[in-house]
Amino acid sequence: MPRPAYTGEQIRQAEAPLLKAGEGDRLMRRAAGQLAAVCRRVLRLGGGTVYGRRVAVLTGPGNNGGDALFAAADLARRGAAVTLLHTIGTPHADGLAAAVSAGCRRVDIAQAPSHLGAADLVIDGIFGTGAKPQLPEDLVRLIRVWQASSARAEGQITVAVDVPTGIDASTGRRAQAAVQADWTVTFGGLKTGLFTGAGARASGRVVLAPIGLDFSDTVPDAWVYKRSDVREIVKAPTGEDHKYTRGVVGICAGSADYPGAAVLCTSAAVAAGAGMVRITGDERLRSAVTSHVPEAVAADGRVQVWAVGPGSPSEDRMAAAFVSGEPVIADAGALDHLPDRLPAGSIITPHAGELERLLTARGHSVQRSQIEQDQLYWARTAARELDVVVLLKGHRTVVAEPDGTVHLPPAGSANLATAGSGDVLTGVLAALLAERAAAKGRLEPGVTAVTAAAAVLLHGRAGKSATHASGLPRAVEQAVLKARAR
């Protein structure tokens, strides 16, 4: 199931009682031990060893640098050739003493580029959870020169301590530069900023290192999903199910110019396991859909969730779905015609450009590029102001509830960056939501948001097996069957 993630401030609050009780040294030693274990594991990948390997350790002030220094001492005792490169502030005294005693060599920061370039492993221990996003200019230059250098050792691996330097632990925002890590060892609890925006791109593989923090009274800031979580959310039908208990989807999609959107959306809903799919539109559009999806029903009747907007359907068709009282998935064309309030359990699914239009119409001065750079903030803003769950599409999709809780599925395949892919996602989400509506009746925002995350996971998995949107519904069906076979 999804794992909780926290802001930097929440992590600091969880640490505070232990620090007050004099447990700071124990916390640091435990964190450093787990950091060192990951570094040893990384160096041994592919049959390598720790002995004789070149390790460069970038350190800064405070506990993050201390964690790196104690880990450096561990590696040096195991035969690694460890170079210490202190970048800013005063190094952690005990950590520095331990590292030097273990044989680590201190090098002037002016020599950093050559040592960083030659290292098999670089440990980024400059700034951690408490750091502000802006970095000193000399540090910005160092990071840029090192990570852009063509002279870097072949196969060099970077491990970030807690959070890559230059990344905001709470938001994922990036400073003028940021360390691009291959691995991030984060302590105590997952940080939201490691899984969204620039933070998700900079963190590489994230390893959680528990250090004994208590979050029992802390409400998570976010929920982070793994690809395997879809197996816990997508349910297989039972022998007692029938088409109505599996959910009835209504499709309000497509037009004379974009009939394919209705075909893709309907095909995806069927592939994702909807009990029944009803379609609206004129006779020509309905014929186009039923010729591709013969089980689609062209007659009016019961609907439990509406998928509205793909392919520019008419305003009259969309209005009829909006006033039905059933939950709505508002996508594409529907986003420019939203009523003042959507039915309970509804969700909107904009990309950054569509969200720009929505927010601008409500008085915000924001551009698409700003939304893309800070998806977390703008998805939360839209969810709060519109009082609806928001699925903000992008390389890393963000699902936000009106209360500010966010759900962060992993990035999907680049194959999904194609026309019609969003229509398929809308159909998948409609099928999953209709099944939840059939089982639960009224859909609460949390249920809608978790279901949306599951749809993103299925869509992402399907994207690995298709090169274009018309191939996605078949791949969705295979992804659903695989998820059910647990």
For the segment 403-423, the average pLDDT, to the nearest whole number, is 94
Whether residue 433 sits in one domain with residue 322: yes
Residue 336 has pLDDT above 80, yes or no: yes
Distance CA 329, CA 349 (A): 7
Residue ending a domain, among 224, 240, 270, is: 224
Residues 201, 207: Cα–Cα separation, whole Å? 15
Q: Please report, for the domain that includes residue 161, its CATH number.
A: 3.40.50.10260
Residues 215 and 258 in one domain: no
How does pLDDT run across 180-224, given as a tens digit for each residue?
Answer: 999 999 999 999 999 999 999 999 999 999 999 999 999 999 999
Residues 108 and 220 in one domain: yes
pLDDT at 454 over 90: yes
Same domain flag for 269 and 206: no
One domain for residues 291 and 438: yes
Say what the pLDDT of residue 133 is: 62
pLDDT digits 0-9 by tens, 218-251: 999 999 999 999 999 888 899 999 999 999 999 9
**Closest listed residue to residue 329, CA positions, set 345, 346, 344:** 346
Task: Tell whether 138 and 238 lie within a shared domain.
Answer: no
* List of residues 6+ apart from 155 with CB closer than 8 A: 120
Q: Look at residues 179, 207, 224 and tell me which one is the last residue of a structural domain.
A: 224
Residue range 283-301: average pLDDT? 96
For residue 344, which of 399, 400, 300, 304 has the smallest C-alpha distance? Answer: 304
CATH code for position 384 = 3.40.1190.20
Last-in-domain residue among 179, 202, 224: 224
- The DSSP bridge pattern shows strands 3-6 and 222-224 to be antiparallel
Strand (E) positions, 151-287? 157-161, 183-187, 190-191, 205-209, 222-224, 248-252, 276-279
pLDDT at 154: 85
Q: Give me the mean pLDDT over the 349-354 stretch.
A: 97
Distance CA 160, CA 367 (A): 32
Q: Which residue(s) pair with 191 in the sheet? A: 6
Q: Verify that 309 and 193 share a domain, yes or no.
A: no
Q: Are 362 and 436 found together in one domain?
A: yes
Is residue 62 very low, low, confident or very high in pLDDT (cuts 50, 70, 90)? confident
Give the tens place of pLDDT for each residue, 248-270. 999 999 999 999 999 999 999 99
Please state the domain count of the chain.
Answer: 2
Q: Is the pLDDT of residue 329 over 70?
A: yes
Assess whether pLDDT exceeds 80 at residue 135. yes
Say whether both 253 and 132 belong to one domain: no
Residues 426, 261: contact at Cβ < 8 Å? no
- Considering the domain architecture, whether residues 220 and 236 belong to the same structural domain is answered as no
pLDDT in tens, 103-120: 999 999 999 999 999 999
- Domain extent, residue 330, equals 229-484
313 shares its domain with 458: yes
pLDDT for 456: 97
Residue 131 has pLDDT above 80, yes or no: no
Do residues 206 and 102 both lie within one domain?
A: yes
pLDDT of residue 485: 86
pTM (2 d.p.) = 0.94
Look at the alpha carbons of 464, 370, 186, 104 in this order and tell me if their dihedral is positive or negative.
Answer: positive
395 pLDDT band, cuts 50/70/90, is confident
